[in-house]
Amino acid sequence: MVKIAVPQGLVSFALILVTACSGSSEPTERQHADDWRAEISSIKYGSTASEEDPIALRRIELAAEFLSQAAGIPVRVYQTSDYNGTVQALSAGQLQMASMGAGAYSNVDSQIGGLADPILAERNSYGQTGYYSTMIVRADSPYQSIEDLKGKTLAYVDFNSTSGYIYPRWKMDEQGINPDTFFGEAAMAGKSTQAVLALSNGQFDATIVNAHSGTPETGFSMGTIKRMARQGLIDEDEFRIVWTAGPIPRSPRVVRTDLPTEFQDLIRGALAAMPYDAPQAYAKMARLPGSHYRPVDRRFYEEIIEMRTKEIERHRRRAIGGEG
């Protein structure tokens, strides 16, 4: 279900505002070069960011403000309650663009193919456009490696989460660990914050969350654990990484391709220019200096798309009574 990120009492006001900004109410034949606004009067930008993750929510709001100035039309942020909400809303054309994980994009790709394109992904100042899945346990637990977790309980993030489900399961499989039978019990926590809190509370023996700005050899400077520690939700010393998988292609900004070409070029250019044209706003997004957006296309996510396709096949086989 899609919900708009506006307090209930202000919903009617927001609708008036959008109507006022739309200019033309009916799409008209394009009469001059920049008349793409006749086809799109406001931008609906989807994200799973929520109040539970204020940094992610602030990021999307700042990007929306910048895009609104660049495009000269309102940009409204739509929060979805889970990853699948964004996938379905973008696939159905209820959103024009979205920030989503590579796994969620692969689901969009499986539903509508070329009707949505990934256009940009973040790249750090060392030229890296990848991040990692990290399997973490409590530091006071006896588990030192993934092998120690045989028969134990594991919290994934979400079925559509790249680093918290799709990618690590694929890599476990490649390493001879069948994720469906290796663990005693596995469940979805919903979001990475909930996954870590559930681990901290002793509801699970391990969970899998993302980490970036580093490598398994050098350690990681950013990611779920670092973010939650900065927010004061956890003490990072209470956790230990026992397994990593990656690098995974960074989360794309995805746009519908059935929208005017001018709009797609504008969104790609404006977002990519943000670190340079609006460095203060970009810094407020809690992005590291020197990080920026790299242009990408579907080819950048082909491995993830293949993983997702095989994961879905595996679920179908299991659903009809075949092997898992």
Partner 1 sequence: MRMLYRAWTSLALIIAGALNFGFADAQETVFEAQPLVVSLPLATQTTDGEGCKSASNLVDPTAKAYAQYLESRFNTRVTLCLFNTIGEAVEAVDKTKTNFIWVDEESGGPLLETWRSSMTLLPSNGIGRTPFVLFRLNSQPEINLENLSMSRIGFLNQPPHQLHVDAARKILSDYDLMADASETGVASSTIPALFEAVQKRDVDAAILEASSWAIYCGVLDADSTACDGYEIMIYDRPSASHAFMIPNDTALERHYRLIGVHIALHLKRPELFEWVSQGIGSEFEPTEASAMVPKSIDNPVAF
List contacts with partner 1 (CB under 8 A).
12-13, 16-17, 19-21, 23, 30, 32-35, 37, 69-73, 119, 123-127, 213, 218, 221-222, 230, 261-262, 264-270, 272-273, 275-277, 279-280, 283, 286, 288-292, 294-297, 299
Which of 30, 315 has the CB closer to partner 1? 30
Would you call 223 exposed, middle or buried from its count of C-beta atoms within 10 A (0-12, 13-18, 19+)?
buried
Which of 92, 283 has the CB closer to partner 1? 283
Write down the least CB distance from residue 100 to partner 1, Å: 19
E strand spans, the chain: 2-4, 43-47, 75-80, 97-99, 116-123, 130-138, 153-156, 185-188, 206-215, 219-223, 239-249, 252-256, 292-295
Q: Can you name the residues that pair with 221 across neighbouring β-strands?
A: none
Which of 201, 218 has the CB closer to partner 1? 218
Q: Kindly state the tokens that stand for 273.
A: 């220019």
Q: Kindly state the tokens that stand for 218.
A: 């050098």
User: Does residue 78 contact residue 47 with C-beta atoms inside 8 Å?
Assistant: yes
Length of the chain: 324
Which of 104, 278 has the CB closer to partner 1? 278
Return d(Cα 75, Cα 72) in angstroms, integer.
9
Write down the least CB distance from residue 26 to partner 1, Å: 16
Write down the least CB distance from residue 282 to partner 1, Å: 9
Q: Kindly state the tokens that stand for 137.
A: 């346990």
Which of 71, 90 has the CB closer to partner 1? 71
Write down the least CB distance from residue 99 to partner 1, Å: 17
Q: Kindly state the tokens that stand for 88.
A: 């379905």
Write down the least CB distance from residue 235 to partner 1, Å: 14
Which of 168, 214 has the CB closer to partner 1? 214
Write down the least CB distance from residue 320 to partner 1, Å: 39
Cα-flanking dihedrals φ and ψ of residue 140, to 5°? -90, 10
The residue with tokens 């746009």 is 255
Return d(Cα 276, Cα 128) in angstroms, integer.
19
One-letter amino acid identity for 297? D
Which of 180, 236 has the CB closer to partner 1? 236
Contacts of 312 (CB under 8 A, 6+ apart): 110
User: Going by DSSP bridges, is the β-strand pair 252-256/75-80 parallel, antiparallel, or unpaired?
Assistant: unpaired
Write down the least CB distance from residue 169 to partner 1, Å: 29
